[in-house]
Amino acid sequence: KAGVTQTPRYLIKTRGQQVTLSCSPISGHRSVSWYQQTPGQGLQFLFEYFSETQRNKGNFPGRFSGRQFSNSRSEMNVSTLELGDSALYLCASRGTSGGNEQFFGPGTRLTVL
Amino acid sequence: QKEVEQNSGPLSVPEGAIASLNCTYSDRVSQSFFWYRQYSGKSPELIMSIYSNGDKEDGRFTAQLNKASQYVSLLIRDSQPSDSATYLCAVNVGSSASKIIFGSGTRLSIRP
């Protein structure tokens, strides 16, 4: 099976702009979680989607939003970008059978100038 | 108190020795526990999952879980230079199996 894919891999934006990141889960996986990773804060949970519904949410401002489509692909949007939003954004997919393991994509490196 | 705590390291271990990585968590109802390895510039890679008290072995890796002490550990036997990476402990929180929180990671260095 193909792994989790994320696009784009690298992105440079300026403060105040908005950005949309995309994640395609492993085929057959219906759960997609998003994380932000920075050197100072580590891996922080943003939100999780399952069957097009947000099932869990972390402690991030409303500028961070997401959605999931019927084919399980997910997008994450960050509006009004701030310098502190510079980070590696990771998505992880999980299957519905067996254990609760998550598998990560390669990430999108976002730089806000 | 952080939900998942790890010693940030760096932990330096000679090649061929056993590396021991520890993690504590605060949520008593947590049921799913994971260890991920992350090389610099790469995304986390799942090494082990454990759901029941006791030990679980997979090759050179052994995960140990003690729910009463809210403690999970990872042992790496016969450590190799390629094991040098950051190891992340992850735990589900609350009643949701799907909200998984990560520790800040332990940096492991295997010296030849």
Could you report the per-residue pLDDT of A48-103, keeping only the tens digit for each? 999 999 999 999 999 999 999 999 999 999 999 999 999 999 999 998 776 789 99
Q: B49 and A101 in contact by Cβ < 8 A?
A: yes
* Residue in this structure with the two tokens 């932990």, named with its chain if needed: B11
Higher pLDDT: B7 or A23? It is A23
Distance from CA of A104 to the nearest CA of B (A): 6
B45 touches chain A (CB under 8 A): yes
Closest residue of chain A to B6, computed from CA coordinates: A42
CA gap B110, B79 in Å, rounded: 7
Q: Which residues of B touch A35 (CB under 8 A)?
A: 102
Is B102 in contact with B88 (CB distance < 8 Å)? yes
pLDDT of residue B98: 78
First to last CA, chain B: 36
Q: What is the pLDDT of residues B43-72, one digit of tens each?
A: 999 999 999 999 999 999 999 999 999 999
How does DSSP assign chain A, residue by residue? ----EEE-SEEEE-TT--EEEEEEPPTT--EEEEEEEETTTEEEEEEEEETTEEEEE-S--TTEEEEE-TTS-EEEEE-S--GGG-EEEEEEEE-SSSS--EEE---EEEEE-
